[in-house]
Structure 1
Amino acid sequence: MTCSALLIIDVQHSFLHQPFWDEAEVPAFQTALLSLIEQCRQREVLLIDVFHIGKAWPFTRDSGLIERLPFLTHQPAATFYKHVHNALTDSGLEEWLRQKQVDHLIIAGMRTEQCCETTARVASDLGFSVTFVTPATLTFPMTHGGITLDSTELKHRTETVLIDRFARISDVEGCIQSLDATDA
């Protein structure tokens, strides 16, 4: 029997204070994430909050910004703090998941191509089954070498490198249907 956990990664106040913060895609992200959380909660999927703590403000512990954004009102089964891009290697989360016999991780949160993608890759390498729910992730345009990738392009790139290698790519409805099929 599969035991699943939803990782809600880095949905924290720190990002509101970054120069790249843009509200344009936040409403769709909020809707998808809240739907995913509620439907997972109804199915008794473990809800896990993960927050990033860094060395520079606004990610320092003493910034007062390492707390979830106010639209999130769920009760997490546990909360973990990480200092690297993935949620598993330095937070104690992997050990906790193993104790709970979790073998399937659902990935959602902020910075699609960074902490969410990195967590999916590491989770797969550690033997977890991974579902990456792209609409329940949020990112912002990035520029390198004079070329800017918008959020849609970054999400597509992330899906391209994860699919059939590290994760099953899904929307909220597909993720929930898969959970229901597994439980049936």
Structure 2
Amino acid sequence: MNRALVVIDVQESFRQLPDWEFVSEPNIVRQVNRLVAAARAQGELIAWVLGSRPGSGTVFDPARGYVRLMEGLAPLAGEPVITKTAHNAFTTTNLHQLLTTKDIRGLTVCGIRTEQCCETTTRIASDLGFDVVFATDATATSPIPHRDAPADLPFSQLVQDPRTLGVADIIARTEYALAGRFATIRTVDQLVGG
């Protein structure tokens, strides 16, 4: 089966957010590069995906200059870099067409955020008929404040709120939701060897 590695939103935008200090996988670039090296060695396609919100004025607005891969990540010639404006990597891009044109039926998903863009892409990919592996420790997320938390509190205070969902809980919930339904859960070591 032809496979592809889909690297989602491992971009400088996230390093500009106040929650980056609390990220689950500060070595996300290293983890992604391990998967990239293995995928290249196997002759697999690598699709790089960037999240963009044009005109928003946020760090996801391309005009701000942060919608670019994190330092240390470098696509090779022929590896597509795709920009999306939705949470998943399919809806607002030509990713599905690109994959099916190359007869790719298996995907490995990694990137930022575990429970948001990575999980959503995984679910859609599964619905589209792809065999998906979710590289759990090559994803990253940050704590999620409770929906009723005051919006004006600094993030350093929000993480102290016992209602804030911690990264370990977010990752576990994502793994439970995806495993056996939408994807196979694997670590980078399991995928490329320790």
So what's the TM-score if we normalise by structure 1? 0.89
Residues 110 and 118, structure 2, Cα contact 8 Å, conserved in 1: yes
Q: Does residue 69 of structure 2 align to residue 72 of structure 1?
A: no
Amino acid at match of 2:106: H
Amino acid at match of 2:88: N
Amino acid at match of 2:19: F
Gaps of 5+ in 2: 150-162
1:24 is displaced (CA, Å) by 5.7
**Aligned equivalents of 1:81 and 1:150: distance in 2?**
29
**Aligned equivalents of 1:19 and 1:40: distance in 2?**
32
Q: Does residue 166 of structure 2 align to residue 150 of structure 1?
A: yes
1:164 is displaced (CA, Å) by 0.4
**Cα deviation digits, residues 91-138 of structure 1 (max 9, x gap):** 111111111111001000010000000000000001111000000001
**Cα deviation digits, residues 70-109 of structure 1 (max 9, x gap):** 1213426111111100001111111111111110010000
- Cα root mean square deviation, aligned: 1.7
The aligned residue for residue 84 of structure 1 is 86
The aligned residue for residue 46 of structure 1 is 45
User: 1:154-169 maps to which residues of 2 (within 5 A)?
Assistant: 154-169=170-185
The aligned residue for residue 8 of structure 2 is 9
The aligned residue for residue 170 of structure 1 is 186
2:21 partner SS: coil
Residues 131 and 175, structure 1, Cα contact 8 Å, conserved in 2: no
1:174 is displaced (CA, Å) by 2.2
Amino acid at match of 2:164: T
Q: Number of aligned residue pairs: give it.
A: 176
Range moving further from structure 2, 121-130 or 48-57: 48-57
The aligned residue for residue 115 of structure 2 is 113
**Aligned equivalents of 1:32 and 1:81: distance in 2?**
22
Higher alpha-carbon Rg: 2
Residues 40 and 176, structure 1, Cα contact 8 Å, conserved in 2: no
The aligned residue for residue 59 of structure 1 is 60
